[in-house]
């Protein structure tokens, strides 16, 4: 699910230039079972209800392996994030702080009805939400964090992209032609954007 996204654009370059490294650990690989046997990572929830809940043990074992693999990194600062609809809302400020403060971030992506709550209690993970909606799994939120946090790491963005990242931006943008004619009506670019007065342009963008 991640392959195509991580091979493109900013993230593709960042990984290729070794500015960031992304590794995957499948909880299913940490379940002991006879060869060629199905390895379930979920089970029915206690207390009843629809759906299935991801088991704690394979996730905890996967995290143990991650921590062991990075334990020799000098000056390591680790953060573990678990995606939850009730978690703290993710934003750019959080991304900037994470990039500056941590060398390694573990993202736990759930599926089904969620993850056994004991994972959070044992690991003291920080619960993060990317929005007030329900998704099929934690893969998309993980991509959001990888993208947003990576952009804050020095050298990941090119010079032009870095300038774009820090600019005063607006959701209302225009490009050529200056006058767009559509169904016998003219739609013009706001005059302020054609003025060349960058101070007033920035003020206009902030208002928008």
Q: Is 202 annotated as a binding residue?
A: no
Maximum Cα–Cα distance across the chain: 72
Task: Give pLDDT, residue 199.
Answer: 94
The size of the chain, in residues, is: 208
Residues lower than pLDDT 50 in the chain: none
Q: Compute φ and ψ for 182, nearest 5 degrees.
A: -140, 120
6 is in an annotated binding site: no
**CA 202 to each of CA 6, 85, 166, 170: distance values in angstroms, whole numbers, following the listed order:** 33, 35, 12, 9
Q: What pLDDT does residue 65 have?
A: 96
**What would the DSSP string read from start to end of 90-118?**
P-HHHHHHHHHH-SEEEEE--BTT-B-TH
pTM of the full structure: 0.87
Residue 31 has φ and ψ, to the nearest 5°, of -110, 125
132 carries a ligand binding annotation: yes
Per-residue pLDDT, 162 = 77
pLDDT score, position 169: 78
Task: Confirm or deny that 135 is annotated as ligand binding.
Answer: yes
Q: Is 75 strand, coil or helix?
A: coil
pLDDT at 163 (0 to 100): 63
State the residue for tokens 């006058």.
Answer: 179
Q: Was 119 annotated as part of a binding site?
A: no
């Amino acid at each position: 699910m991640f392959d195509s996204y991580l091979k493109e654009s900013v993230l593709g370059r960042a990984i290729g230039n070794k500015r960031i490294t992304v590794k995957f650990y499948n909880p299913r690989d940490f379940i002991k079972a006879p060869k060629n046997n199905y390895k379930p990572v979920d089970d029915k929830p206690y207390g009843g209800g629809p759906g299935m809940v991801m088991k704690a043990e394979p996730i905890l074992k996967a995290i143990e392996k991650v921590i062991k693999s990075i334990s020799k990194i000098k000056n390591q600062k680790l953060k573990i994030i678990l995606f939850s609809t009730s978690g703290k809302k993710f934003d750019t400020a959080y991304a900037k702080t994470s990039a500056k403060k941590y060398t390694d971030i573990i993202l736990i992506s759930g599926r089904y009805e969620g993850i056994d709550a004991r994972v959070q209690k044992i690991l003291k993970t920080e619960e993060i939400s990317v929005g007030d909606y329900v998704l099929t799994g934690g893969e998309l939120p993980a991509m959001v964090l990888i993208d947003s946090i990576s952009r804050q790491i020095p050298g990941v963005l090119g010079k032009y992209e870095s300038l774009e990242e820090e600019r005063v931006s607006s959701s209302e943008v225009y490009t050529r032609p200056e006058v767009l004619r559509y169904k016998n009506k003219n739609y013009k670019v706001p005059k302020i954007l054609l003025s060349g007065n960058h101070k007033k342009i920035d003020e206009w963008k902030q208002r928008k």
